Structures are given as C-alpha cells and as structure tokens.
Chains A and B, each alone.
Chain A
C-alpha cells in the first residue's frame, strides 16, 4: 500500500507546488487532504490490512505522508501570502508629496498670542489673572485711583464717555475704561490679600488712529498687595518678568515718573542685549489713597502695580509696520501668524 501512499503524497505535493494563489492552495488542500482526497481514501483502507506488521508500516507511511503534505501546504501558504501582500503593497503605492496642504488650522490674533504669552509668564511668576468690565464707572476708573473730579491728570486720558445713566446717577459718569487700573480696585474690593494678579484687557482712548495708536487697544496691569511689599520687590519683579518674557540677555531699570495712583512712581525701561533701551510702561508703589479705596488699611498692606501695552508686544515681535494692520481683519494678514 505504501507505493500508493507515496503516489498520493507526490500528487498532492505537485498540486501544492502548482497553486498560484492562496485560494488555489485552499482548493488543493480540500482536494488532497479533504475527506474525499486520495490520502483519506487510502487511510480508510488501512483497517482492511490484516497483517498487523504491514498495517503498522502502512500507518506510519500514511502519517509521514500527511505530515509532509501539511508542511508543504503551510510553506506554500506562507509563500503565497507573502507574495500577495507584496503585490498589494506594490499596487497601493502613493506619492505622499501629492497630498501636501497648507494646513487648515485657523490663526489666533497676534494680540491674543501676545496676551497669552504674557499671562503665561506671569502665571509662572505666581500671578493669577483678574478681569473687569470695559464700560466703567468714573469712580473705578478715576476717583478710586486718586484722581478726583477736576484732577488735572484726567485730562491726559482722552476719555470716551457713554450715555448710560445709572439709577439715581447722572450722565457723564459712565465711560470706556482708559486703562486696566480699575481692575486693581475691583480686585482689592473682592479679594482678600495677599493679592498677586495681572489684568490684561481692552482699553479705550479718544485717539485718532495712526501707525502707532488705536482708540481701542490692550494693556496688561499687574497688582501685588501683601504685607511688607517694598520698591525692591517691584524692581525685582520687573526684572524677573523682563528676563522671563524677553530673554536672559535683557535687563530693566526704573526711573522716576508720575502717576496719580502710585507713589513713588516709575517708568520702566528694558535694555536689549545690544545696549539700546525701550520704554515699556509705568509702575510704582500703590498709593495709600488707592489702597484705602480698595477697602484696605495702607498701614497694614502695601503693594506695587505696573502696566504696559499688549499691542506693542505683538507689533515688536512680528515686525508689524502699522498697528492699524492688526485691526483690519484682512485674512491675508491674519494667516501670516
């Protein structure tokens, strides 16, 4: 019987070798290893062999033949699958450079970008972010900041007034805030010291727009109120901010100036690595009258405040030639950043 088995095995091996696809191969498997395959038929005949010795020998041959065929199937299957994968991969070729795009992501306004960068630096220095309304009362914008009615410094703000009349109040006492400083008052009135906040926001002046001025622009205000705060803390904080925001090669200086709501008052300038100076903003020790307006005792609490323009940070960083360009909302400008 063994020659029959060998013949069936060889036929199967030959068919396996001839299979060109995995599907062909599966058909070959069904034909040769299936229930009606030659090997199966021969296996059924094993029982009819009377001689136990011969039966055992035939059984061993049968087993060997099946094993050989199955191994051949596996080998061929893996060969064919690999070839098929290769064919598929070859057929699926893509030129990825055909699919490049400009990116469809939108663009944040550069003032927002500057605003968030400033916030991030001050968050790192331990400050939180305070907010306040853009339409303000005369009291918050001027009076509480040590600029009572008729104070000469009020004239420098070119205030825009709003025709809102508070109940029981009068016209001319509601305005568009001229600076973010009213947030100092609102923060002191609502928050227990220690206060470490910055207040970025939109501010308004009756300024005719030109290359460096807009009637609507943005400032960031800083306020610290705590026990034992001194001018050295102000100078150190300004210096820390300068290095954190502009870079390690930058340094700062304070020089005397005047603001009604701080005393001593200072301008702070930034020195660039090339030695040139940039006037950045105003600062000072919070005036005792302002601390009192904030509902606190100036003998217990002292503090400092500072403020400067956000728009200018954006203008400087991106080399914007005309500040008005930032407010045209021309998508060809917006998309650049």
Chain B
C-alpha cells in the first residue's frame, strides 16, 4: 500500500470494487446466469426468476446465520434440524389455536433454546463446535421425529401462508425477509462492537481475550444467531408447503456452509461478509435451478455442487497467494 492519495476519487471507488473479494464471485454469478440463460432460455423468464429468488431466500437466511459462527472459526451443523423443530413448534401452536404471530415467536423461541444449548456448551464448557452441533443435529431431528412419530402437521391456518407464498411489490415475501435479515446482519457486523469483536475472535482469539473482551459471552450469543435464522427459515417453509414436515431442513447445513464458503468466508475464521454469503447463496440457487432447467438428473446435481464448493475454495486460496 502507498501513502499517495489517488487524485481521482472516482477511480478509487472502481479500484476498491475490483479489489474487493466479493467482486470476483459476483462476476462469476453474472457469468453463470448468462451461460445458463443461453443454454436454457426460460431461466431468465420472470416466472422462473421469481421462483429461484424465493428458493434462494431460504438458503440465504440460514447461511447468514451460519456466517456469524464461521467468522469465529466455529460451525453450526444443527441448523437443518433446528429448522424442522422450530417449524414443527410453530405449526403445532397454530393447530391448537395460537394466533400465527405468536406461534411464529414461539417457534423462534424453541430454536433459540437449541442455540443457547449449543452456545453454552461451546463457550462455557469448551467443547468443539463441530461435536456440539453434530450432537444437536441428531438430537433435534430425533426430537421432531419422536414427538410427531414422523407424521406431518398439515392443518395450518390460511392466514399464515402469505409469509411464504405472498408477494410485495412484485417480489416474494421470503426475499424481503432475507433482505431484511441481511441488512441487520451487515449492520451488526460492520457497525457494532459485537461485530468487530466477532471478527477479532476469528482473527486471534487469544489477543481478543487479552484485550479485556469477554470472549465466552460473545461466543455464547453468536450461537443464538444461526439458530434464530434457521428457525425463521424453517417456519417460513411451513407456510411454503402448507405443512410442517419432519424431514424439513435435512442437509441444509451443508447448503448453508457451502453458500458461505463459495461467498469467500474462511472456515478458519476472521474473514467473510454478508454480501459474499448472499452471492454464494445465489450461485448455489442459480446452479441448482439451471441444472433442473437443462434437464440434468437430480442425481448429478449434488456432484456438481460438490465440485463448485471445492473449486471456490481453491480459487480463494490461489487469490490469497497472489
């Protein structure tokens, strides 16, 4: 870096944009959409884009939550089953007559309890996040199956459905929710002391501790975030399918982590951004949808997603070395 000031501030902005890590993946997204648009012309149709954006919203919400713990070098593998549990909780509350807004809050609360257990075990007991949340993944999904015996809850009130199926200003409501969460997440990470400390823990936990910061408390709070986001996504999915399914969210932890990694988040902690995660989620969603439109068997889809994830990590490493 040089001390010299750029004479033209306009060029400075361009240069900053080019230098930002998100620019490369954003370019990749555009390229991908162009290629798919040419190969499968109905991809760029308004109807299809509407559906894709709604689908991406769900993954994006879960991935944004995941971002917070990954930034500290942690991970939350339990988001998928917390989705199912929260959705089931909210749906059950509605079937016994709780008004939808309160049922939603109840569902989120159930998810937060799981997040609190994760956070307490990681932060205060000191167990590795991988193990804690793997246990929670199994526990929460078992809880759902045990309580419902595998049966879905179907009689969800119609007044609840627009949260997933409705639209506002021509865009699906889940997209608005995802955008709202993204804005909040961005503000939290870039303007608050909490966000700064989150990055600091990921960059050097010991130095953060020795700076007089209560690292344990921050870690505890951090694990509430993916749980809350997963709960919100799980509850909206209930409205999307008119029912709460016991196997909702299965495998979503991998999609969420993949979206974060493709978006340039380092699993070692310390770097990653809301914008990157959003683009990562878009890339995942666009590829999945494009493959369907191009009539690629769904069996092959996961294989291709796998290649993309590793490719993103390889490119990121190459870029950092350069």
Are A and B interaction partners? no
